[in-house]
Chains A and B, each alone.
Chain A
Amino acid sequence: MCLAIPVQVTELLDDDMARVTLDGVSKVISLALVEDVRIGDYVILHVGYALNKLDPGEAGKTLALLDEAARVTEGARP
């Protein structure tokens, strides 16, 4: 379940709200469920609320692990 997508915070608004963008499309959403969000941060958006902050460091680690997994059979592949 749960269509959620990482979006970038571009403006902080009153009442715990914020403007976020995804490739040029913007939306105003609620930050009530997260803390310490700054402009430029990425958050996971679900039904109009930010559920969590996305950790860029961990994202990088995942990509590195994916690369590693991809290279396991590199030599053996036709």
Chain B
Amino acid sequence: MKYVDEYRDGKLARAIAATIAAEVRPELSYRFMEFCGGHTHAISRYGIEDLLPANVRMIHGPGCPVCVLPVGRIDDAIKLARRRDITLCTYGDLMRVPGSQGSSLLKAKAAGADIRMVYSTLDAVRIAQAEPGRNVVFFAIGFETTTPPTAMAILAAQKKGLSNFFIFCNHVLTPAAIQNILESPDVRALGNVRIDGFVGPAHVSTVIGTRPYHAFAEEFEKPVVIAGFEPLDVMQAILMLVRQVNSGRHEVENQYIRAVTVDGNLKAQDFVAQVFEPRDSFEWRGLGMVPNSALRLREAYARYDAEKVFAIETVQAEDNPACECGAILRGVKKPADCKLFGTLCTPETPMGSCMVSSEGSCAAHWTYGRFRDYARQETQRHEFEQKAAS
């Protein structure tokens, strides 16, 4: 695959790993947060951790729109789907996210709800056109990458004169989430979670450009490197962050120059601005209410707004009290720190959304990386035994 395989070259990876190892200062520890769930997945799937020196640690951030969707909104979607007149269209990622009382879209479908998995909003619009007797609601989630396709769906529905197409809008904004993490008491206070820099999201940035990240770099004095999606992109970005930390810089750098520009995709931004407006605040699972972090449809498009048309009143639902998703999404805790991890909470029986989405910290760790927990335990036990013997 062109423009893909070249950035997965194992030989280059080892060489860059050697460079990173040579350039890190042994007395420093480098803690970088990759914000984007896609990067979390890439790091786990390719085993990038194994190629980094011990004093470089990646902290997984909340850039997984499935993970941060509050339980109450899943419950709303299930309620919508249970109505006999509604066909709920959704991306595959949402099918197994747990709602209240162990419910999920997958289970609701098994019980007879008309829920259809689609690859694109285009498919949902097509369904609405083909089945005028059904009210087709598209369960819209995602950061700035996925918002333009939703905007286009509404505009397409408008152009085709469809009166049976609706959006249940849960789009969220990246800069607000990063801000929330950086301002959280855990991060600001010394000695809790120290983040030395950010690996910025790849495809969100193709849409919003690199401009929005300058505010963080300046205010919080943290370097940000926008990285492409492939493992070599991530490694190069880590090298760039190490170099910034070593030279005391906190700039915004762009590693993903083949797809990201300073301005981003202005055409897409315009479509989004036409259809959506910011909400004052929105609940994020694990982060609580975050101001200026989400979008809703503008008044002009109210007829497509499922929340208005179907009078949705979101009830805040509680997570399992032992669930550590909130702390994990902030990078304060690791999956292995959660008592439920691997016992009550597994990909088959997810308790919180960090386990459901394959990008969630817990799912990624379980699916690709949990063997390291045992290796660590065994190393520690071995060291302990050696000490006891001597």
Contacts and interface: CB of A to CB of B under 8 A. Distances in A.
Nearest to B243: A69
Interface in B267-291: 267-268, 271
Interface of A is mostly: mixed
Interface string B210-235: 00000000000000000011001100
B255 interface: yes
Contact of A4 (B65, B145, B359): B145
Interface string B306-332: 000000000000000000000000000
Given A1-B63, A3-B38, A55 B267 contact: no
A46 B4 contact: no
A5 to B, nearest CB: 7
A70 B51 CA distance: 13
A65 B239 CA distance: 11
A32 B203 contact: no
Nearest to A27: B119
Contact of A54 (B148, B201, B233, B258): B258
Given A34-B267, A51-B207, A52-B265, A1 B142 contact: yes
Nearest to A32: B152
Contacts of B256: 62
Nearest to B146: A47
B146 A2 contact: yes
Contact of A2 (B4, B201, B267): B201
B12 A30 contact: no
B276 to A, nearest CB: 15
B259 A73 contact: no
Interface of A: 1-6, 8, 22-23, 29-30, 32-35, 42, 44, 46-49, 51-52, 54-56, 58-59, 61-63, 65-67, 69-74, 76-77
A16 B146 CA distance: 18
> Across chains A and B, which 5 residue pairs bring their CB atoms closest together, nearest first?
A48-B120, A70-B15, A2-B203, A59-B258, A2-B145
A76 to B, nearest CB: 7
Contacts, number: 149
Given A2-B201, A2-B204, A22 B259 contact: no
Nearest to B256: A62
Given A1-B146, A30-B122, A46 B265 contact: no
A33 B240 CA distance: 31
Interface of B: 1-4, 6-7, 12, 15-16, 18-19, 21-23, 36-38, 63-65, 91, 119-123, 142-143, 145-146, 148-149, 152, 201-204, 206-207, 228-229, 232-233, 236, 239, 255-260, 265, 267-268, 271, 359
Contacts of B6: 63
A70 B16 contact: yes
Contact of A34 (B23, B258, B265): B265
B1 A23 contact: yes
A48 B149 contact: yes
B98 to A, nearest CB: 19
Best-surrounded residue of B37, B120, B201, B239 (most CB of chain A within 10 A):
B120
A23 B16 CA distance: 28
Contacts of A52: 206-207, 259-260, 265
Contacts of A33: 148-149, 152, 265, 267-268, 271
Nearest to A16: B152
A58 B261 CA distance: 11
B4 A49 contact: no
Nearest to A23: B1
A48 B152 CA distance: 11
Contacts of B255: 62
A47 B12 CA distance: 30
